[in-house]
Structure 1
């Protein structure tokens, strides 16, 4: 087993869309999008829509559950430059505690919903999210908010 070449891990509640699939993918040089999400791993419709975006960028895409990501990512080829895309801070925490070597976590988009407070223009978090961010930081993960590559990184500790 080797350490997978994860070039970026991003939280985006939309998972793969134009900004993620095109702008971020090209800026970080990824050649594989790995969507680690239990719902997307089961939804052919979601997969079709996200695969179309990946195809536009000329990169591969996989849809795995969190458990499959934990058990399988260490088998990735060193040639694979993995862009790991997840939906929530809790998902990130599950992956990190499961042994996925996430060194940094880019928080891109977390929509507003009930009981969530605004941290930045596009990031809203409830107490569970904030607790997960704090635990990830305590585990040594560099957690920051950054919508697009040219934006300045905002350390999560500066907003929670």
Structure 2
């Protein structure tokens, strides 16, 4: 089912994260809706989720590297992000991280980290969250590993 303007409805796209923020905005590869990607994946493999690669880091570095690698990344359009409260922003980010963990993605860092204490902002929150879930930095600080 489509809305009057031709955009997918919440039912077509799946569960909504916050208000009108569809989950296909939260991470993934640009160009395909979650419904399209899920339908294709299910048709080809019978699976809904598959292990992949996700990139974390400082904005816009992680966006650029993820694009180069064809990897998943957390990316909410600014027009939506700017209307969200900090609590909603972190909850959306956390949902992306939880899905990344559930898929068992390889986690690449766009900005190498040798000392977590020197990292700030949302990137630091992501690192702290994942470290709390049992991840650790690899020896070069370019990946998070279990």
TM-score tier by shorter-chain length is: 0.3 to 0.5
| TM-score (norm: length of structure 1) | 0.33
**Greater strand content:** 1
Q: Which has the larger radius of gyration?
A: 2
| TM-score (norm: length of structure 2) | 0.36
Structure with higher RCO (Cα < 8 A, 6+ apart)? 1
**Greater helix content:** 2
